[in-house]
Structure 1
Amino acid sequence: MKISKMRLLATTAPLAAVLLSTPSHAQEETSDGAGIEEIIVTAQRREENLQDVPISVSAFGAAQIVQKGLNDVSRLEGLVPGFTFGKSGVDARPAIRGVRTESVDVNADTTIGMFIDGIYQSRASQATLGFIDLERVEVQRGPQGTLYGRNTFGGNISIVSARPDFSGYYGGADLTIGDNSQVRLSGYLNAPLSDTVALRFAGGYEKSDGFVKNIDPKGGNLFDDDNKYVRASLRLQPTENLTAVLKFDYARRGGNGGSAFGYKLVGSYFHVPSNQQLFNATPVILNTRGGNRDGIVDAPLPTDQGIPLFAAGNPYLINNDYRGSLDLRNAGWSANVAYDLGAVTMKSITGYSDFETTRTQDTDFSSSQIGADYQFTSAKTLSQELQLVSNGSGPLEYVLGAYFFKDKLNGTFINEQFVQVVPGDTRPAAVRQSGGFYQEFRAETESLAAYAQASYAITEKLKITGGIRYTRDKKDFQFANANEVLPFVGGAPVGTAITLRTGNIPASSFGVQGAATNCTYTTLPAPQPGFRCLPADTTRFVGATFNAATFKKATWRVGLDYQVADDSLLYASASTGFSSGGFNGSQAAAALGRSTFAPQTVTAFEVGSKNRFAENSVQLNLSAFYNRYASLQEQRQIPVGNTTLSIIENSGKARSYGAELEAIWKPADALTLNASFAYLNAEYTKYDQVAAPFGTSILVPDATAPATIVNGVTIAPAGQKRLFAVGYNCGLIPGTGGAGQPGAAYGCDLSGNKIAHSPEYAGSVSAQYDIDLGSAGKLSPYVQVNFSGAFFGQAINSILDQQSSFAKVDLRLTWEYNDRYSIQGFVTNLTNEATATRFVYGGGGNLQASYAPPRLWGVRGSVKF
């Protein structure tokens, strides 16, 4: 469906006008909970009623978190309009309004900011921890580059823990027993030690067998749980004006994990007549990972190209011989201090985290013995933020801030190749083992920022807002391989000696920034300063330390909001945001001067309306937006010198526009109806010279074909024909194939393709009805339906990486005996829809996918004291 942005605004504006003309009434808070309750948010770095904030924010308070089963970030999908959730292993990959989280490597930053108690989390998986004893969860849609920072390119997710309070000693505990032998225990305790000191403890433990079943006894189920979490908070309020909250939390996850990138192979593409891989040709349901050859011809292909995919089409059943593992640990310390000076409040937000995760997985996704992968990631992160926030009720409100951030990252990837054993292979036994792979990356970021935002009430109803932020990121990057620690045979490092236990390589392997190189290889232009090769063989590359890169950017926001009536707000804004630049971690990219890529930017426009009607029984929030993305960091093929590189480059442009709705209706105190809906049109306006995964072009025999010449370059000799990825606009990359140019390279123009994880429509509807049982308490049935249109998982937009439209149903039945005791039974994904959360093309040309959980059930008992 094609809808212009002018048509979208033309249809949305009259609807908003009609709603705004409806008489409104002041919100009434009643002791029995009648009407829609207020939610206080900090989306503008000060406490405000959600309905008074002139930006798109979705928020869920403590009661809603329990009611809707929001026990991790993934549960926000559908409930938050325009938000989709992707995941691979423990890596969260959220998407908002056409911005998705693609890379989670140490040389990349998040594009949807993750904040816990106001502190930015540099690794996306950190925000999936500790969904216990929360005060609220907020999701801001659209760039938040002024008040929140550089990596809130598409929005941000803010998780707020419950703070200690002075109201008394109380606590609670929950026990959940469910599918796959799940046992989950969590609890909290609030303890005021005096009028000025209070403690709060929260913790949890979870164990389960995993919902992806492995039939191979040597392997194990995936997405099992062995989780532990503890949090301790101390609140100090020595005077009326000074408050400090000190917090420590620790999380650990173990078990088999969920595989690093995907846990199921979907298939591959082949040009059947020539038995060559050609993208988007015939889909073939084969595991073509290297080494998976059983000597059997794989029809319709004429030769053996792999083994049949196990349980194709069933994402919850695998047959892997290698037992993967997960060991994730995160320790965090924070201090939030606020001092009321009268006219302003001075705030200090300090955070430090120490994060480590180790993962292993079956590299061949099969019962064959071929190889295993190992990933290690660590992040030591320090941040300090200072704010001055205006107080009072005058016409001027402002926030001034300064921010410091330092992140030290390490990432190691190892592939170990075993002596290959393929079930069903009846060929004569032979030792078959190829070399493994080892790469270690180290990165450091030091960021400084200053920002200011002010709002001025021109009249009692009209307010203008302006803000600006200046950010300076300095980044260092280095990488190395295992050549220096491997044995030599015949003058070359032995790749088959690489194992998952290959230790860290020495610091000297990474070279020294700016130092003269000892490398003498001739396969690339002259090696750069900071490069290091083996002393005994200076043609063998070992590692490099790049020159530091600095990225600077100013972002801004301007807005108007008009209080049409006491409970009706109309607003409009324009804002910018950016995601920081980074490094291409390859030897060739560094040697050829393409080691860095610049920040990607967004300019966003939004109009919206927030309303309460009918004596506080109806809430309707609407927004329409248009985002323009530039300098997108995308993978692309480019000619450089005498070679062609596949690197991340600022080569993409895109735009997204759409409309979003959030509604609550309480026709009676006992009945609550919720709805959210998002329409989204997000596509690339420029994205070319892109290599199709495993098969951009091939040559096939054609006795009648003359030579094919493009721009003076022969791309197919006489008697042969060059075929390109089926259905795509592909061809010779300019600047390749000619005299004095790199060899002929081919790419495709993906301009006009849909942005990954951007369904045209998505949303949810839910209903809860409270049945009064008198002295027996209250019974509350709850039903929620999440739905989504189809979307693609990769920018290439092929038939294999498409998730079809779906609807999921969740059911919950809660019996509250009184304020202290309750029992809830639940079924999630009642319709048992298998929906992909991540697609990626991996080794052998296979598409790999990760999937959201199937139908699951459980019973949750709660006690408060």
Structure 2
Amino acid sequence: MEVKRNALYLGVSLALSGSVVAQQETEATEQESANNRQVEEIIVTATKRSQDIQSVSVAVTALGADDIAKGGIEDVSRIENLVPGMSYGQSGSEVRLAIRGTRTNNVGSEAEQVVGIFEDGVYVPTTTQALGSYVDLERIEVLRGPQGTLYGRNTFGGTINIHTRAPEFDEVSGYVQALAGTYDRRKVEGAVNLPISDTLAVRLAGLMDQRDGYIENTYVDGPSDDLNDADNKYFRASLRWQPTESLDVIVRAGQGTQEGNGSAIWGYQQIGAYDNGNFLAGHQYLPADATAATDQGPWKVSRNMASSVDLESSFFTVQAEWDADWVVIKYTGNQTNFEGSQTYDPDYSDGGSLTDSGFVGWNSDQDTFSHEIQFTSPANDTFEWLGGAYYFEQAAGWNWLERVGDVTAVPHWDNQGDYVSTSLGVFANGTLHMSEATRLVGGIRYAEDTKQQRDPLDWSVWPPVPMKGQGSKGDWNDILYKAAVEHDLNDDQMLYGQVSTGYRAGGINFVDPVVPLTYEPETVTAWEVGYKSTWLDRTMVFNAAVYLNQYRDMQAQSFVVQGTGVTEYTENGGELDSMGFEAELSWNPTDQLSLSGSLSIMQAEFGKYEVSKVQGLGNMGGRQDLNDPASLLNLEGFRPALAPELTLGLQASYDIYLGDMGTLTPYAQTYYSGDYYAYDINVEGAKQDSFTRTDLRLIWASPDASWEVQGYVMNLENEAQLNRVVVFNPSERPSIASLQANWSNPRTAGVSVNYNF
């Protein structure tokens, strides 16, 4: 009987033990699955200190290499699909970004961007250079809201930080990618990492990308004069030296070229005009010998004069970081040279003169130098601080081009000297840990900018020559600040609130005596409350922010008829208030399914805002008085350009495991935008209705991830959206207000093969 009882006890014990072991194995498997599904921790340098993105009191979107590849991000033009509150605009070769209601209007050497773009810590100074190709990137960080204390001028609306891959010391590695697509696209891109020793390594990266134009020019047979084509080349070499654990030096040098036909400077199509307040569709100042086929839709035109774009940029950057235990000292120095020209058919038609056409484009050459030094304390639980100084200098030659006979050249009346600008900043930032859960953050920056107008011409000699150093000068300064409080609700959730200011430098106009010589800086005071969180064992990340941005003395784009052309200039329009809500979600509900999305709800509206009046629009309901020379055009209550009230982005991917055959991943991305105006003057012709834009990808990866094949379709709907409209008085018919437009790209498709080694 005792034996039976012992046997029973043993059986029950074994059963219970087996049950416990099985439960433990199940829990371990579930935990391993959850760990595999965790959203990747992203370390950013948004605050110029390496931190987990979830621990910084900044509304920042970070895109890793996988996000960049799946999003089809090859330059700045497609970032808006993944970033709430950001919109992309373009005209010709100029980037016109918008974030949280502020937008880039004026372009050219003397223009200041509203969204500062930095590549490896170096400011990209012009809207033309901002359209360069992205090659061999580690990540992209997009900071929304003014970043004046840490980044200075021209981070008025936000900052885009582009980080390229640095050389590594461990092994030879790299990738090669070949792509073929519609519009006869051929692209080859690659990079190789070469360790030379335990302390020295080199990384080389390059790209060649060619395609026919998206905009068919029906005047010629074949793609030779089609607009918006591409022939881009890029090469970068990086050298990294780390002689000790405390010293790290990276030297980068590179060159990029963009060639092709391009499109027009302020937009390539005349979509209509207003005459005495009445809208007339189509090109309203055609030459007498032009045909009705001049414009046949957003991607089909007829032009008898060939267009051209020829841009070249080269750079040399040194970064050195020394860890002296109690402080980390970092220096970044850069020299960049940019040269370029752009020409187009100035009458936007298949008629008109081919040998005497007046203004046909521009050329430019620019040299920029910058130096920044930072002093950063080690991370600790009491007080962390950062301080530094920044200096930037730019000498830019920018001239109109005219065609006389068969020659395109700078007219003698515009052959002036360089436009010179400098910027100085001294900054400090600190974080005080009040407790384990609460921190106070403060920052301050002194910003000083100087600009000198191009040297005027000495007309006592022929041809006239610039009088060096005689250009008018202007200088501006401001003190910027940031104050924030961060509070951890628990290990996975943080609340923050902040107020910060931003500043965009003033400038000098040099176009016409009737135009104001200078314009003042514009400023912003931004209020923001944010929430950052991780859920479900970090398989879900959810971040949200509400904001109020109060912009003052906003710089407005205006035009003046000058001789046989129209010239752009800048003036201070007035005020704008923008408020909104933004949210981002990343969730991996299973080992195979990944979901992400972004939402922006924004209300942006001009307050008191007056610009030079525009003939042809009529009185616009009392907004302007055309009979009063002193009258201005009142935009109060209008929405700024590229400011939809609602945008929504969704992305989804699902990994299908094929065993020894690798992994197949369908990926879908869609972007919805509510209606918006493509120009600050809210006329119906400049309005873009709501739309969706969808991209599809099918990705196969080999079991060891060394091979990857992608098939893609972008802009599945094949619908055009206005991303820039200008309302202006053409010199040919100054009594009308013509609408000059730039459209988004059509549907494209292709296949790429990628080999990683």
Under a length normalisation based on structure 1, what TM-score does the superposition of the two structures give?
0.78
Pairing 1:246–2:251 present: yes
* Match runs of 1:326-405 below 5 Å: 326-370=309-353, 371=357, 373-405=360-392
Query: What does residue 303 of structure 2 align with?
Result: 320
* Among candidates 540, 549, 560, match of residue 474 of structure 2: 549
Secondary structure at 1:237 match in 2: strand
CA positional deviation for 1:282: 3.0
CA positional deviation for 1:688: 2.5
Pairing 1:778–2:700 present: no
CA separation of 1:728 and 1:481: change in aligned 2, threshold 3 A: farther
Secondary structure at 2:264 match in 1: coil
Q: Is the 8 A contact 2:37 2:589 kept in 1?
A: no
CA positional deviation for 1:864: 1.1
* Among candidates 269, 276, 294, match of residue 310 of structure 1: 294
Pairing 1:570–2:546 present: no
Query: What does residue 161 of structure 2 align with?
Result: 158
> Mind listing any 5+ residue stretches in structure 1 that lack a counterpart?
1-27, 271-277, 295-305, 420-434, 487-504, 514-529, 531-544, 639-644, 697-723, 737-743
CA positional deviation for 1:57: 0.3
Aligned residue identity for 2:47: Q
- The alignment covers a number of residue pairs equal to 704
Deviations 1:569-594 (A, max 9, x none): 1000000001001012134158xxx4
CA separation of 1:646 and 1:199: change in aligned 2, threshold 3 A: closer
Deviations 1:65-112 (A, max 9, x none): 112211111111131000001111221111000111111122221111
CA positional deviation for 1:726: 3.9
Deviations 1:733-759 (A, max 9, x none): 8xx6xxxxxxx3443221111111111
Query: What does residue 766 of structure 1 align with?
Result: 651
CA positional deviation for 1:222: 1.1
> Mind listing any 5+ residue stretches in structure 2 that lack a counterpart?
1-30, 561-566
Aligned residue identity for 1:319: S
Query: What does residue 216 of structure 1 align with?
Result: 219
Query: What does residue 174 of structure 1 align with?
Result: 177
Mapped to 2, the partners of 1:151 and 1:674 lie a distance apart of: 30
CA positional deviation for 1:262: 1.1
Query: What does residue 856 of structure 1 align with?
Result: 748
Query: What does residue 10 of structure 2 align with?
Result: none
Q: Is the 8 A contact 1:603 1:629 kept in 2?
A: yes
Pairing 1:454–2:454 present: no
Pairing 1:60–2:59 present: no
Aligned residue identity for 1:784: Q
Mapped to 2, the partners of 1:483 and 1:816 lie a distance apart of: 68
Q: Is the 8 A contact 1:83 1:95 kept in 2?
A: yes
Mapped to 1, the partners of 2:686 and 2:437 lie a distance apart of: 49
Mapped to 2, the partners of 1:137 and 1:211 lie a distance apart of: 27
* Among candidates 823, 828, 836, match of residue 714 of structure 2: 828
Q: Is the 8 A contact 2:34 2:537 kept in 1?
A: no
Query: What does residue 235 of structure 1 align with?
Result: 240
Mapped to 2, the partners of 1:482 and 1:86 lie a distance apart of: 39
Pairing 1:91–2:94 present: yes
CA separation of 1:761 and 1:450: change in aligned 2, threshold 3 A: same
Mapped to 2, the partners of 1:577 and 1:30 lie a distance apart of: 45
CA positional deviation for 1:471: 1.1
Q: Is the 8 A contact 2:46 2:143 kept in 1?
A: yes
Deviations 1:747-805 (A, max 9, x none): 32211111111111112101000000000000000000011011111111001111111
Q: Is the 8 A contact 1:35 1:615 kept in 2?
A: yes
Q: Is the 8 A contact 2:34 2:539 kept in 1?
A: no
CA positional deviation for 1:650: 2.8
Aligned residue identity for 2:310: D
Query: What does residue 517 of structure 1 align with?
Result: none
Mapped to 2, the partners of 1:91 and 1:555 lie a distance apart of: 28
Pairing 1:810–2:695 present: yes
Q: Is the 8 A contact 2:219 2:304 kept in 1?
A: yes
Mapped to 1, the partners of 2:602 and 2:459 lie a distance apart of: 48
* Match runs of 1:563-602 below 5 Å: 563-589=488-514, 594-602=516-524
Aligned residue identity for 2:273: S
Secondary structure at 2:660 match in 1: helix
Mapped to 2, the partners of 1:88 and 1:418 lie a distance apart of: 27
Q: Over aligned residue pairs, what C-alpha RMSD do you find? A: 2.4
Mapped to 2, the partners of 1:484 and 1:363 lie a distance apart of: 32
Fraction of identical pairs, as percent: 34
Deviations 1:802-833 (A, max 9, x none): 11111011000000023111100000000011
Deviates more, 1:816-825 or 1:776-785: 816-825
Q: Is the 8 A contact 2:587 2:596 kept in 1?
A: yes
Q: Is the 8 A contact 2:613 2:626 kept in 1?
A: no
* Among candidates 136, 139, 143, match of residue 139 of structure 2: 136
CA separation of 1:621 and 1:73: change in aligned 2, threshold 3 A: same
Secondary structure at 1:127 match in 2: helix
Deviations 1:248-303 (A, max 9, x none): 01101111123322111101122xxxxxxx2x4132323415xx125xxxxxxxxx
Secondary structure at 2:606 match in 1: strand
Aligned residue identity for 1:325: S
Secondary structure at 2:454 match in 1: strand
Query: What does residue 471 of structure 1 align with?
Result: 447
Q: Is the 8 A contact 1:439 1:479 kept in 2?
A: no
Mapped to 2, the partners of 1:365 and 1:649 lie a distance apart of: 28
CA positional deviation for 1:220: 0.4
Aligned residue identity for 1:695: G
Mapped to 2, the partners of 1:728 and 1:83 lie a distance apart of: 32
CA positional deviation for 1:145: 0.3
CA positional deviation for 1:51: 0.8
CA separation of 1:264 and 1:437: change in aligned 2, threshold 3 A: farther
Mapped to 2, the partners of 1:616 and 1:31 lie a distance apart of: 8
Secondary structure at 1:478 match in 2: coil
Aligned residue identity for 1:849: A
CA positional deviation for 1:176: 0.5
Mapped to 1, the partners of 2:518 and 2:36 lie a distance apart of: 56
Query: What does residue 283 of structure 1 align with?
Result: 280
Mapped to 2, the partners of 1:442 and 1:797 lie a distance apart of: 36
CA separation of 1:846 and 1:481: change in aligned 2, threshold 3 A: farther
Secondary structure at 1:811 match in 2: strand
CA separation of 1:109 and 1:661: change in aligned 2, threshold 3 A: same
* Among candidates 660, 681, 689, match of residue 582 of structure 2: 660
Aligned residue identity for 1:50: I
CA positional deviation for 1:132: 1.0
Query: What does residue 539 of structure 1 align with?
Result: none
Deviates more, 1:470-479 or 1:318-327: 470-479
Pairing 1:616–2:538 present: yes
Pairing 1:225–2:218 present: no
* Among candidates 659, 665, 684, match of residue 799 of structure 1: 684
Aligned residue identity for 2:57: P
Query: Moved runs in structure 1, 4+ residues, more than 6 A?
Result: 28-32, 481-486
Deviations 1:652-688 (A, max 9, x none): 1111000001001111021110110101111110112
Deviates more, 1:136-145 or 1:67-76: 67-76
Query: What does residue 501 of structure 1 align with?
Result: none
Query: What does residue 624 of structure 2 align with?
Result: 730
Mapped to 1, the partners of 2:325 and 2:174 lie a distance apart of: 34
Q: Is the 8 A contact 2:33 2:591 kept in 1?
A: no
Q: Is the 8 A contact 1:732 1:745 kept in 2?
A: no
Secondary structure at 1:65 match in 2: helix
CA positional deviation for 1:437: 8.1
Q: Is the 8 A contact 1:82 1:96 kept in 2?
A: yes
